[in-house]
Amino acid sequence: MDDRAPHYNQLSKQIWNFAELGFAETQSASALQKELAGAGFKIETNVGGVPTAFTASWGSGKPVIAILGEYDALPGLSQAPVPEREAMLANGAGHGCGHNLLGTASAFAAIVTKEYLESHKLSGTIRYYGTPAEEGGGGKIFMARAGGFKDVDSILSWHPGDRNSAGNTSSLANIIGRFRFKGVASHAAAAPEAGRSALDAIMLMNMSIEFMREHVPSDTRIHYIISKGGDAPNIVPALAESRMVARSPSMTTLIPIWNRILNCAKGAELQTDTKSELELEMSYWNTLPNDTLNRLLYRNLSAVGGYEMNSDESKFADTLRKSLVATRGGASDLGSQAHVMPFAESGVGVASTDVGDLSWQYPTGGFSAATFVPGVSAHTWQAAACAGMSVGQKGMLVAAKTLALSALDLFLDPKITDAAKADFTKRVAGRKYESVIPAGEKPRFEYWR
């Protein structure tokens, strides 16, 4: 894999340059499909009715081991691979979450696993899942609803980060929606009494939520923007909109909190004599840990180890870190990318992902590889810069090796797959997964636009 790394570095850079938003990753998906098809995989496209969703399968029979790949970018994070802010395209998209690395490393691992199975005449199916629109579009949810994962025994995943780590950690469940208020327009000076301000309603709803923060669990996150506040200050706004995200370590805790947010909207309606409607955009469940798979990934991540930066990379890192407001101590120190963090027995991450929805339906394991300079968080221009140069590519190789070794362990030792299933069954006992997104809902292909 070391010898072949330059080829996959080039592929990751190609996808980094495409920087396509969710559900529009046409070139990125095509490049990965071409790579996998060239390695002998059978490609199935338009999975779940999503044009940029695909699977690439090789082999037959059990076990069926899935490796997840993502390749969508984020709006407004276009960035040259340099340690100062320098957009390549004004207001353009960029890989601020490193999904160009994620999709490529997973493809590399799937191909290497296939070659081993083939050369050793081993049975089983290795399958790469090209999952679009992780950044709010929920591609995996719609692929699963269409039965795309129905025969899978274990799912392996990873994500770019600023450290090499694995453990029984979870992610935050979230619910995302657009609250739109409709009022009555009027001249704000000549006839304000004739108007009913939709913007007033938005502000009152958001103020109610601010007071509500004191009375929700401390690990709850609620954040919003006013995406439309009117057209001119001298016109009472007839239309206003706020985009809202609520998060919690548990979906069962989050749903009652979301219902209280809905009540804040109803209260704002009454106070302003306006009407509101909710467009539910997306919802992700918190990740359900699988001890067997996470410890397997940790053992192999530890065996692979981290990487050292050369002098140019160290200079890049030093300069880049000067742009950071703050860094987390210890794990964020320069040089930490050369090591693997201790196994985390528990904990909750700071992000949300549709991998969480899969984890409540199938045994799923995951880990993080240090593709970003220590101290850099995802969804930043600094992360996009790292994802487009050698620091990110070195971390990507760590991830690819870890995935390949772990997939091979699952093929070579059926007891691991059995233990992962038993762990999954135990953890879901008495708990029911049901997506907040209504059954029959179609993917929101235009959600970024």
Per-residue pLDDT reduced to its tens digit, 289-302: 999 999 999 999 99
Q: Is residue 186 part of a domain?
A: yes
Mean pLDDT computed over 326-332: 70
DSSP letter assigned to residue 449: -
The pLDDT of residue 327 is 67
Could you read off the pLDDT of 82-101 as tens digits, one per residue?
999 999 999 999 999 999 99
Could you read off the pLDDT of 5-60 as tens digits, one per residue?
999 999 999 999 999 999 999 999 999 999 999 999 999 999 999 999 999 999 99
Peptide bond into 63 cis (omega under 30): yes
pLDDT of 331 > 80? The answer is no
Burial class (CB in 10 A: 0-12, 13-18, 19+), 327: middle
The pLDDT of residue 329 is 62
pLDDT of 287 > 70? The answer is yes
Other residues' Cβ atoms within 10 Å of the Cβ of residue 434:
10
Most distant pair of Cα atoms in the chain: their distance: 83
Could you read off the pLDDT of 338-372 as tens digits, one per residue?
999 999 999 998 899 999 999 999 999 999 999 99
Residues 14 and 148 in one domain: yes
pLDDT of 160 > 80? The answer is yes
Q: Is residue 438 part of a domain?
A: no
CATH number at residue 424: 3.40.630.10
Q: Is residue 435 part of a domain?
A: no
pLDDT of 375 > 90? The answer is yes
Q: What are phi and psi of 14, to 5 degrees?
A: -60, -45
Distance CA 392, CA 16 (A): 11
**Count of structural domains within the chain:** 2
Residues 293 and 275 in one domain: no
Q: Strands 165-166 and 364-370: what pairing?
A: antiparallel
Other residues' Cβ atoms within 10 Å of the Cβ of residue 448:
18
Q: Is residue 354 part of a domain?
A: yes
Residues 167 and 302 in one domain: yes
Cα→Cα distances 440→48, 146, 286, 395, Å: 11, 10, 22, 39
Instruction: Pick the last residue of a domain from 283, 306, 333.
Output: 283
Residues 135 and 58 in one domain: yes
Work out the mean pLDDT of the chain and round it to a whole number: 96
Q: How many residues does the chain have?
A: 449
Task: With CA atoms as reference, report the closest residue to 411 among 166, 154, 224, 188.
Answer: 154
Residues 164 and 312 in one domain: yes
E strands present in 87-197: 124-130, 154-161, 165-166, 173-182
Distance CA 57, CA 41 (A): 5
Could you read off the pLDDT of 168-192 as tens digits, one per residue?
999 999 999 999 999 999 999 999 9
Beta-carbon-side half-sphere exposure of residue 34 (alpha carbons within 13 Å): 10
Instruction: With cut-offs at 50, 70 and 90, classify the pLDDT of residue 449.
Output: confident
User: Domain range holding 269?
Assistant: 173-283
The pLDDT of residue 325 is 82
Residues 269 and 128 in one domain: no
Residues 300 and 408 in one domain: yes
Could you read off the pLDDT of 414-434 as tens digits, one per residue?
999 999 999 999 999 999 999
Residues 268 and 330 in one domain: no
- 68 neighbors 365 (Cβ within 8 angstroms): no
Quote the tokens at residue 149.
Answer: 């994962």
pLDDT of 328 > 80? The answer is no
Instruction: Pick the last residue of a domain from 239, 266, 283.
Output: 283
- As a whole number of Å, the CA-based R_g of the chain is 23
Residues 405 and 308 in one domain: yes
Distance CA 366, CA 354 (A): 13
Q: Is residue 23 part of a domain?
A: yes
Q: Which residues contact 428 (CB under 8 A, 6 or more apart)?
A: 288, 360
Mean pLDDT computed over 319-344: 88
Enumerate the H helices of 157-290 as residue ranges: 198-212, 251-272
Residues 298 and 401 in one domain: yes
The pLDDT of residue 132 is 98
Mean pLDDT computed over 374-397: 97
- 256 neighbors 208 (Cβ within 8 angstroms): no
pLDDT of 330 > 80? The answer is no
* Strand-pair partners of 45: 54
Q: Which residues contact 366 (CB under 8 A, 6 or more apart)?
A: 156, 157, 158, 159, 166, 287, 294, 297, 355
Q: Is residue 211 part of a domain?
A: yes
The pLDDT of residue 445 is 94
Task: With CA atoms as reference, report the closest residue to 411 among 55, 65, 121.
Answer: 65
